[in-house]
Chains A and B, each alone.
Chain A
């Protein structure tokens, strides 16, 4: 079946540290891939997405590259800020199929000043 596996948290970093949150997927066909972020007390919002192999999604200093050969979509940021503290979800959607998203379990990030 289709599934998303992301690194378990929580992740705690100091401000300006480098961030990587790993995400790998299993899917039939060629999915589109997403990172969503949930700030404390809020719903999820789209952070970035990529629709085909080798695409790079980027937003707010975050980046992720769709790697078909390793079925991965790792999230990176070169220098995190306290305001990046949130829960991050990796997700996939099958192209041309159902509108449903399949989510990973989420990774909680805490950035300390």
Chain B
């Protein structure tokens, strides 16, 4: 079974802190994604990566950055956390394949609260 793990289930941080959210997948997937989930808004894509050291902005990249130094690990960084970044953060991974509708596999999520 594909396994996507996230470093924390719950995090509480203070405004202005630098926050790292870590995601690791064990299926050698090329693609990795970071979403945030908010009530009434569904899932919104923050960043994704289709290869090591490669990244692309999603729909809401402002206030976030990412790092992918190894294929299995994709980190989301909040350079200076703000209260409007309080949310559930979901990581996902998928296999690359042109013309193939590949499934995204999700981690359990990290609920981040910024005070």
A interface with B by C-beta (< 8 Å): 32, 34, 36, 41-46, 49, 51, 89, 93, 95-96, 99-101, 103-106
Contacts and interface: CB of A to CB of B under 8 A. Distances in A.
A43 B42 contact: no
B25 interface: no
A65 to B, nearest CB: 16
A99 B42 contact: no
A45 B3 CA distance: 11
Interface stretch (B11-19, B68-76, B79-87, B102-110): B102-110
A103 to B, nearest CB: 4
Binding site secondary structure of chain A = loop
A95 B101 CA distance: 7
A43 B4 CA distance: 10
Contact of A96 (B58, B90, B98): B98
